[in-house]
Amino acid sequence: MPLDWRTKLVHPHVSVSEGFKSLVTPVYRGSTTLFESATNVTDHWDQRHVRYSYGLYGTPTSFELAARITELEDGAHCFITPGGQAAIALIDLTFVRAGGHVLLPESVYGPNRDIADRLLTRLGVESEYYEPLIGGEIGSMIRDNTQLIWCESPGSVTMEVQDVPAIAAAAHRAGVPLALDNTYAAGVLFDAFAHGVDITMQALTKYVGGHSDLLLGSVTIREDTHYAALGDTHQLLGMAVSPDDCSLALRGLQTLGVRLQQLEESAMTVARWCAEQPEVEMVLHPALPDCPGHDLWERDFTGSASVFSVVFTTQIGPEAIVRLVDSLTLFKIGYSWGGVTSLAIPYFDLPRRYRPYGSRLVRFNIGLEAVDDLLADLERGFTTLRA
C-alpha cells in the first residue's frame, strides 16, 4: 500500500549521495540514535564501547571536540560540558562524598568557591582555602578525609602562579587526586599532566571559543578509573552539549595559535604601560616580576595570555576607579574574557586573607584591537584620575 504523505514526512524514501568530504567536521544533531537490532539496545554512556546509544552522551561533533582537546592536552580522555562551571561541578560531584574535605586555593575562580561553600556544604563536604603560594607545605593541610585538591594557576583576578608540581607531589603522597583549572593557559601554555595534575579542566568559553559567543567546558584525564567515574556522573547529571556550540569551538581551535600569540604580545605591551603610570602600585601579570609566583610562571609556562590585573595606589579610591573604567571607550565592562574585545572590570572586596588589595584592583582583558588604540584609550582614561 502506498504511504500517506503524512507518513512520508516522517519516513521519506529519498537519499542523497554519500561520500561528501567536508574539510571541517559537520554538525551532527540527534537525541535518538538508532540501533541495528533490539539485541544491541543499551543506555551506557561510554559510546566508544557500546557505539552510539543516545545523543545525550555525545555526537560525532562533540566527540571530535573532546578528541581534539585530549590531543592538545596530552590526556587520554575528555568530557565536554555545558560550560566551565559545569566542568567544575562535574569534577566536584565525581570525587567528593559526604564526610569529605576539599582544599581550594584562596584565589580560585569565584563560582568554584560558591560550589564549595553552598553546594558541597549542603552535601556534607567541608571546604578549606589555602594560601595559593603554599607549595609543598600543603601536605600539612591534607587530612584523612581529604578527597580532592584544587589548583588554579594563575588564580582568578589576583593572578598568583602556583607551584603545581610541589602540590601534586604532596597530594600524591597522600593519595588525593589533584584537579587544575587550566583556563588561563587555554590547555596549551601550561602542560598540566607533565606537572603532575590528575584532572584538568578549562572553560572552552574563553580562548578555545575565542569570540564571546558560546559556553562550553572540558574535563581531561589520563586514568581509566577517573574516566569511568566521571563518565558515570556526566551521564547522571545529563550534561549534554549543543553540537552547534561544539562546531564553533572546533572552528575556534583552528585560530587559537595565532590569537594567543597576538593576545600575549598586546597584553604584555598594555601591562608594561600600566606598570609605568604613577597611579599604579603594581601590575599582576604572570610574565612581570611583581606578580606573585612570577618565577614559577617562568619555570613552568610556555607563554602568557590576555588577562592581568592592575592594583592602584592607596591614593586612588573606588570612585576614581569607577570613573576611569566608565571613561574607557574601547574597553567594555563585562565578565568573561578570551574573546576579541578588550574588557575592564573593577573588583572591590575580593575574599582574600593573604594579599588583600581592598578596592584598588581592576582586571583587564586585552582583545585583538590595534594596541596603540588601546593605549590611547587608557591614556585618556588615566587623565580622569588626575582631574
Ligand X SMILES: *Cc1c(COP(=O)(O)O)cnc(C)c1O
DSSP at 2: P
CB of 212 vs ligand X, minimal distance in Å: 11
Q: Which residue from 200, 206, 202, 213 is spatially nearest to 247, judged by alpha carbons?
A: 213
CB of 80 vs ligand X, minimal distance in Å: 12
Site for ligand X in 327-346 (CB under 6 A): 336
How many residues sit in the footprint of ligand X (CB under 6 A)? 14
**Strand partners for 346:** 362
203 belongs to the binding site for ligand X (CB under 6 A): yes
State the binding string over 82-121 for ligand X (x if CB under 6 A, else -).
Answer: -xxx-----------------------x------------
Q: CA-based angle 226:231:234, to the nearest 5? A: 125
CB of 9 vs ligand X, minimal distance in Å: 38
- Which residue is closest to ligand X by CB? 84
Contact status, residue 342 vs residue 325, Cβ threshold 8 Å? no
Site for ligand X in 161-200 (CB under 6 A): 181, 183
Q: From the CB of residue 370, how many other CB atoms can be counted at a distance below 10 Å? A: 10
Interhelix angle 60-73/243-275, rounded to 10 degrees, is 40
Applying CB under 6 A, the span of 38-46, 77-85, 246-254, 319-327 interacting with ligand X comes to 77-85
Contact status, residue 345 vs residue 382, Cβ threshold 8 Å? no
216 vs 221, beta carbon nearer ligand X? 216
The one-letter amino acid at 208 = V
Q: Cell 599582576 maps to which residue?
A: 284
Cα separation, 92 vs 98, in Å, equals 12
State the binding string over 211-230 for ligand X (x if CB under 6 A, else -).
Answer: ----x-x-------------
State the binding string over 115-154 for ligand X (x if CB under 6 A, else -).
Answer: -------------------------------------x--
Cα separation, 78 vs 95, in Å, equals 16
156 belongs to the binding site for ligand X (CB under 6 A): yes
Cα separation, 342 vs 308, in Å, equals 12
CB of 156 vs ligand X, minimal distance in Å: 5
Enumerate binding residues for ligand X (CB under 6 A): 83-85, 109, 152, 156, 181, 183, 203, 205-206, 215, 217, 336
